[in-house]
Amino acid sequence: MDISKDLTEKRKTEHIRISLNEDVEGKNITTGLENYRFIPNALPELSFEEISLSTTFLNKEMRTPFLISSMTGGTETAYQINQQLALAAQEKGWAIGLGSMRAAVENEDLAYTFQIRKYAPDIPIIANIGAVQLNYDFGINQCRQAVEMAEADMLVLHLNTLQEVFQPEGDTNFSHLLSKIEEIANSLHVPVGVKEVGMGIDEKTADRLTSAGIQFIDVAGAGGTSWIQVESYRSNNNIRKEAAEAFLDWGLPTAESILAVRKNNFDIPLIASGGLKNGVDAAKTIALGANLAGFGRLLLPSAVEKDVQALFLQMERIEFEMRAAMFGIGAGHIEELSHSERLVKKI
């Protein structure tokens, strides 16, 4: 019996169950997007049918500026979820991020749970490794293996300090990581980015990452799923379970994180994820400075139910909402939305 494999599958299965059934959003903290509003343009001089969502990200042509954010992998159930998400992403022209691939790198029997290219031949796929694993015997070869396994277009290294602290089996040695991240960014044959997992990335961290050669950032800000709370549901440690309550409002809201990253890094490709609920939220993130808008747990129930038609409808709604918002401010394409002066902070 492979005990480590069994523990990994148990953890991944618990993550899905808890995300679906428990209250895992932060409290007394939001994305901050509700603090902004668009000034309507009553005379847009556009036909609604002309509104285009097409864009590019890291030289990849995309039909939409949307990403299905990293969620899962490593179990048969996770594979079924990833399959549904990949089919939907391919149909709608969204990029897709994979969940942490550490398990598959360590155990090739799990590789298939991340191999979705056959369902999504034309869209960007983002492989995913925890940055902290660079302190636990992972290096260039393992990162390359993850990319090749997924036939991915890019790799993201995720930062999840407090999730690891609250996770019963967490890896918490985050010392001297920046130089190792720099080595991966400068050595891999695909673009390498960094993402948070729901706590946001601040200005100084973004500056350090871009100076190290990181080629894109996903802010994954606060206001959506809190992985501290997810892990607290898994913990048998009463101290950690009670301590999680002190972190209900932890993190940098998504809107603030976008602005923080953009303050000194005007050109780096930027993904906004973390608590987005609809296409108007997504439009706000683009107007604030993001290039792509990511949706995660919102799409999970339909994927778990293997209801790809429900996924299509959710994604179509999000697309319609963004197109309607763009029409409402007179932005005919994503470039105009990204430079719009019609997003203002509420007084």
* Positions at the binding site for Mg(2+): 164
- What are residue 67's DSSP bridge partners? 95, 294
Residue owning tokens 């179509």: 316
Binding-site residues, in ranges, read 11-12, 69-72, 100-102, 128, 163-164, 195, 225, 275-277
What residue type is 3 in one-letter code? I
Pull the structure tokens for residue 150. Answer: 């997924």
d(CA 72, CA 52): 31
d(CA 285, CA 261): 12
Buried b (16+ CB within 10 A) or exposed e, 188-221: bebbbbbbbbbbbbbbebbeebbebebbbbbbbb
**Residue 116 backbone phi and psi in degrees, to 5:** -110, 5
Binding-site residues for FMN, in ranges, read 69-72, 100, 128, 195, 225, 275-277
Task: Region of 198 please: left (phi>0), alpha (psi -120 to 50) or beta.
Answer: left
Binding-site residues for substrate, in ranges, read 11-12, 100-102, 163
- Tell which residue, 273, 267, 321, 318, has the closest CA to residue 297: 273
